[in-house]
Amino acid sequence: MQHAHPQTAASRLPVRSPRKSSPLPAWAWCLGVVSCSLVLAACSAQDNGNAASQQPPEAASGQLSRPDYQRAMYDPIHFKPAIETATDEQCLACHKEVLEPSVRAQSIAGVQPAQVKAWYQDLSTYTGEQETFHRRHLVTPYAKQVMDLKCNTCHQGNDPREEAPGSSATTVADDLRLRKHVDVGAVCLMCHAKMNFEVMGLPEPWQKSKALFNNDCLMCHAAIRTNRHQVNFLKPEAIEAAAQGNGDVCFGCHGGRAWYQMLFPYPRHPWPGGEEVPDWAKDRPTTSLPRFLTGLPAQTAAAAETAPSAPTETTPADSAADTGAQQ
Ligand code: HEC
Ligand code: HEC
Ligand code: HEC
Ligand code: HEC
Ligand code: HEC
């Protein structure tokens, strides 16, 4: 994952203070955000000219109406607690470019995006032309169908100066992943981990055993771990509907795009018939992270309350394991 270091981006750009009566619009510093896609041959190729036709942003965080580049970079909206309640619109006022189609017509080596498919772009859910990372998660049809990710589902605030935890007295010690804008272990891993086929009692990894099950996870999961996906960044009903007879939907987020060769310790919500807690699940949390529950319709909370009582073997240590395991 490549991204422009703030210093580099700043020095490369003809950044000018918007307070001077320069012809450069006040928001032009936003273009300093060089977005490089995570996808092969998908680097941002949009230039300032394109963005220049857009409307200037509103006062972004409501605190500074025309911040200069440095102030904007340290706008409190980037950090906790403000980032927790930030809306996508607020972020996009300055970062509109992350959602703009910006895959190059061809890579620097001359390869055209339509001619290449990555190993993970082989599930039936993958459609359309090559897209940038942000668009694949936020605006492509499939993303919108099954997910409801927001900027702050992934972005939880980071320190633009240090980018490394605990390296000075003032740097943020916790919740900061080394040189990452997003805590990959807590966020990406949920949808890009290996499939835990062993605990499912499958003889082999899904790639090999799926024929046995007609490529249908619901042969088991119509009855097992049925209390799932009740979080504010997924569309649970749409997922179940799309997954009827198509295991690629489920597998896509549970092993089919496993960038990380490790497991994610999913919360294990109680479900009818799932009263027994196997040894491997003793330390699992029994609810999703609180931040993923905000904004959910009340019925979900009510459903959770009336769900069969949580297995009694769980101990308070589970909540500690929750944070611990997900870091
Ligand atoms: C007032 C304008 C403004 C707003 C609002 C804003 N940003 Fe930024 N942001 C910037 C500027 C300027 C930079 C520095 C860009 C650079 O150096 O490339 C930046 C940098 C970033 C970076 C890279 C940080 C780094 O360490 O290099 C991320 C990620 C980011 N913003 C996300 C967000 C998110 C998410 C939101 C909404 C919660 C948001 N921004 C709201 C102006 C803004
Ligand atoms: C699926 C998780 C996810 C979502 C949702 C997301 N981002 Fe990002 N964003 C990332 C990752 C990962 C990076 C690259 C981080 C790095 O290099 O460490 C990134 C990078 C950025 C950057 C730095 C410049 C760049 O393009 O590399 C900005 C600015 C940014 N995101 C803004 C936003 C805004 C605004 C939104 C909401 C519209 C958003 N992001 C939604 C994961 C996400
Ligand atoms: C809520 C689930 C979810 C989360 C969280 C998530 N992703 Fe994804 N990701 C997806 C889905 C679904 C797709 C495939 C979409 C498609 O096929 O159209 C995808 C696709 C991708 C792709 C391939 C893009 C392409 O065009 O081929 C990359 C790379 C990726 N994710 C990286 C990440 C990273 C890094 C993070 C964490 C910052 C992350 N994802 C977080 C669900 C998620
Ligand atoms: C043979 C039946 C069976 C099939 C087929 C099956 N699963 Fe499972 N799955 C299980 C069982 C059993 C568990 C563990 C139940 C428990 O928590 O006690 C499980 C657990 C899970 C978990 C939670 C793992 C964890 O670490 O908490 C996920 C996610 C999951 N399955 C996804 C899938 C997906 C996606 C597919 C299809 C690609 C699939 N399963 C196919 C039986 C199955
Ligand atoms: C767009 C990505 C995505 C898709 C598609 C998806 N899942 Fe999930 N799944 C997740 C995420 C993220 C979580 C963890 C949510 C949380 O924190 O509670 C999860 C959690 C689970 C769990 C753990 C349930 C528990 O006890 O909380 C099971 C089992 C599971 N998924 C099975 C499936 C099956 C079966 C399908 C297909 C019908 C499927 N998933 C499709 C992203 C996805």
- Name the residue at shortest CA distance from atom 40 of ligand 3: 188
Instruction: Point out the ligand 5 atom lying closest to the alpha carbon of residue 269.
Output: 26
Query: Taking CB atoms and a 6 Å cutoff, what residues make up the pocket around ligand 5?
Result: 146-147, 190-191, 217-218, 221, 225, 228-229, 231, 234, 239-240, 243, 249-250, 252-254, 266-269, 288, 292
For ligand 3, whether the C-beta of 176 sits within 6 Å is no
How is the chain split among helix, strand and coil, in percent rounded to 5?
Answer: 35, 0, 65
pLDDT at 126: 95
The amino acid present at 95, given as its one-letter code, is H
pLDDT at 318: 35
Closest listed ligand to the CA of 282? 4
> CA–CA separation, 84 vs 72, rounded Å?
18
Q: Could you report how far apart the first and last alpha carbons of the chain are, in Å?
A: 19
SS3 128: coil
pLDDT at 297: 75
CA of 155 to the centre of ligand 2 (A): 7
CA of 190 to the centre of ligand 2 (A): 17
> CA–CA separation, 48 vs 67, rounded Å?
19
pLDDT at 303: 47
CB atoms within 10 A of CB 113: 18
pLDDT at 175: 62
- Name the residue at shortest CA distance from atom 25 of ligand 1: 160
- In the predicted model, residues of the chain with pLDDT beneath 70 are 1-66, 165, 170-179, 298-327
**What angle is formed at CA 72 by the lines to CA 78 and CA 173, rounded to 5 degrees?**
35
Q: Which one of 146, 150, 202, 266 would you pick to mutate in the ligand 5 pocket, going by the greatest count of ligand atoms within 8 A of its CB?
A: 266
Whether the bond into 14 is cis, omega within 30 of 0 = no
Q: Largest alpha-carbon pair distance within the chain?
A: 69
pLDDT at 17: 36
pLDDT at 66: 67
pLDDT at 304: 47
- The answer to whether residues 286 and 310 touch, using CB atoms and an 8 Å cutoff, is yes
Residue 219: closest CA among 245, 249, 242: 245
Residue burial 83-105, b: 16+ Cβ < 10 Å; e: rest = beebeeebbebbbbbbbbebbbe
Domain boundaries, the chain: 189-325
60-66, Cβ contacts within 8 angstroms, sequence gap of 24 or more: 60/90, 60/93, 60/94, 61/86, 61/90, 66/18, 66/19, 66/26
pLDDT in tens, 291-300: 999 988 764 4
pLDDT at 158: 77
For ligand 4, whether the C-beta of 267 sits within 6 Å is no
> CA–CA separation, 47 vs 284, rounded Å?
47
Q: Give the torsion sign (CA, 261, 153, 72, 134).
A: positive
Which residues, 6 or more positions from 164, have their beta carbon under 8 angstroms from its beta carbon? 171, 176, 178, 179
**What angle is formed at CA 266 by the lines to CA 265 and CA 270, rounded to 5 degrees?**
130
For ligand 1, whether the C-beta of 18 sits within 6 Å is no
